[in-house]
Amino acid sequence: MDCNETRRWLHGYLDGELGLAQTLDVERHLEACGECAQARDSHRALHTSIAAADLKYRCPGSLRTKIEIAVRREAGPTQIRPRFHRRWFAIAAGLLFALGASWFAGRWQSHSTIHEGLAQEVVASHVRSLLADHLTDVASSDRHTVKPWFSGKLDFAPIVIDYGSVGFPLAGGRLDYLDHRPVVALVYHRRKHAINLFLWPATQTVESAPQLESIQGYQLVHWTEADTNYWAISDLNAGELREFVECVRHEGHEIEKDRKGS
């Protein structure tokens, strides 16, 4: 892939809209080309600025007053005003309802698109770690070795636990990049299968139950808990990945109870 082709696919890459093969091709070129990498960083900064900007628009309270004035103006003489008032107000209400439904549908579509794009990013990161034989930056089953390794590299402190006693031993961890920010990737094993557990602070405090989906032959589970986003991915079967997720959630609950108790 040359520079022109990379620049053409750059926006789709940053939005998580490319397929796995295209994503890997773009990333290989970005690793070798400083100019394209600089263009990527500039576009990413622009994306971040737009996402952080307050671009929402709230209709002013005077809108209802203007509608009522327009309705009364169109109603005509006093003796027929009630009939026309009801008619025009119904039309106005219908228009407002349609606008509200359109806005809600747009918001839902946007949320769905963002989730799908992030799921593709998770798959690409998981596959890249396997292809490049780069599962870990720090290889250890000792959480007291893995957790301190992230100190100073992130703006949050990850929870690191070894689940070896229940069949999911910790193999280590690494830094990764998802959702336009650095994230933690903890690596676990189940027999010969690798599990990547990605986690980073959630932008919203609303918790969500684990959701299982299958993409390109991989099982993914996503949930939000204790102000943290979690994504677990592996080629394990769905039942075993769910078992792993329940281990993570159980230990997380115990830590949260201890924290509140203290």
User: pLDDT tens, 112-153?
Assistant: 544 678 899 999 999 999 886 789 999 999 999 999 999 999
Residues with Cβ within 8 Å of residue 125, at least 6 apart in sequence: 176, 177, 178, 185, 196, 198
CA distances 145 to 51, 137, 188, 254, Å, are 36, 12, 15, 21
Predicted confidence (pLDDT) at residue 28 exceeds the cutoff of 60? yes
Going by C-alpha positions, the residue among 154, 237, 153 that lies closest to residue 195 is: 237
User: pLDDT tens, 30-44?
Assistant: 888 888 888 888 777
Predicted confidence (pLDDT) at residue 175 exceeds the cutoff of 80? yes
Whole-number pLDDT of residue 108: 40
Decide: helix, strand or coil at residue 45.
Answer: helix
Residues with Cβ within 8 Å of residue 29, at least 6 apart in sequence: 1, 2, 3, 6, 36
User: pLDDT tens, 82-110?
Assistant: 444 555 656 666 666 666 655 454 444 44
Whole-number pLDDT of residue 109: 46
Q: What global pTM score does this model have? A: 0.57
The H-or-E segment that residue 200 falls in is strand 193-201
Domains and CATH numbers, the chain: 3-52 (no CATH), 68-107 (no CATH), 119-261 (3.30.200.100)
Question: Average of pLDDT values for 250-255?
Answer: 72
Total residues found in the chain within this entry: 262
